[in-house]
Amino acid sequence: MPKQVFAQLEHKEEIIKGIYKFSVKASEIVQNAKPGNFIEIRVTDQVEPFLRRPISIYNLDKENGILEFIFQVKGKGTDLLSRKEVGDQIDIVGPLGFGTFKTEKYNKIAIIGGGIGIFPLYELAKEAKENNKQVTGYLGFRNKEYVMLEKEFAKVTDNLVITTDEGSYKNKGFAIDYLIKDMKKEKYDCIYACGPLPMLKAIQKYANENNINCQISLEEKMACGLGVCLGCAVKTAKSPKEAPEYFHVCKGGPVFNAKDVEI
């Protein structure tokens, strides 16, 4: 059950320009959260901007009740949030999303993310590793300047592949190309993905065509986070064209089986 908490900001870090990691004390949310959940944050006490901002959960420290999330400054709301200082109280609702990453049935998994889409994959990889799963990570970035959290992901994976589009750091090309190449010999039980829509579409197509288990985390404009505003609809894969049916990402997801949605 989601809870509203006023969480104290314990630590703040700008990991690269314009991208911040916040650590907040939010035991009530942390104890109930799962990999793939998200939170909604009220960024100001003023009337504008009115709507909360949905942000993925990056890390859960259940022993100390610390919730970590990472966000990129993209507009007025996230700019206001980035101005919070250690000691400030942040109005947070969570955990949200009934569709979360599920690893119980699988022992050998691959995670793949692109850019800022890598953030919700960390808690997934960490939990899977703690449960003795074999985890391989594929993280793709535009160039060396945008590479983030390499050391953190290296600690929660058995093997980590870093790619940059133009080869300025580590492997040249797209993360999905390296995943597909390795898939021929590694035979992963399931693929978990989050990132830009073109990447997700390519992964979904590959997984569905080759009958590979795949779970994808979608990003939509989730204004309320509770399925009330209906602004985050995504078409179901099996719905007829003449009478389309929809999931709402905030409730049905944000994590879906790749066979269930049309993206």
Q: Which of 66, 96, 126 is the last residue of a domain?
A: 96
Q: Is position 256 within any domain?
A: no
Q: Is position 179 within any domain?
A: yes
Residues 161-219 have pLDDT tens digits of 999 999 999 999 999 999 999 998 999 999 999 999 999 999 999 999 999 999 999 98
CA–CA separation, 214 and 259 (whole Å): 8
Q: How do beta strands 214-217 and 255-257 pair?
A: antiparallel
Whether residues 73 and 123 share a domain: the answer is no
Residue type present at position 31: Q
Q: Is position 237 within any domain?
A: no
Q: Is position 226 within any domain?
A: no
Q: Output the domain CATH number for residue 145.
A: 3.40.50.80
Residues 7-26 have pLDDT tens digits of 999 999 999 999 999 999 99
Inter-CA distances, 174 with 92, 166, 185, Å: 35, 9, 19
Q: Which domain holds residue 20?
A: 3-96
CA–CA separation, 263 and 261 (whole Å): 6
- Give 44's pLDDT tier (boundaries 50, 70, 90): confident
Whether residues 62 and 89 share a domain: the answer is yes
Counted residue by residue, the chain has a size of 263
Whether residues 57 and 23 share a domain: the answer is yes
Whether residues 125 and 155 share a domain: the answer is yes
Residue 252: the pLDDT is 83
Helix, strand or coil for residue 188? Answer: coil
Residue 174: the pLDDT is 97
Whether residues 77 and 176 share a domain: the answer is no
Whether residues 92 and 113 share a domain: the answer is no
Report the predicted TM-score, pTM, of the whole model to 2 decimal places: 0.94
Q: Which of 61, 96, 131 is the last residue of a domain?
A: 96
Inter-CA distances, 52 with 182, 244, 246, Å: 40, 29, 23
CA–CA separation, 176 and 192 (whole Å): 12
| Domain count along the chain | 2
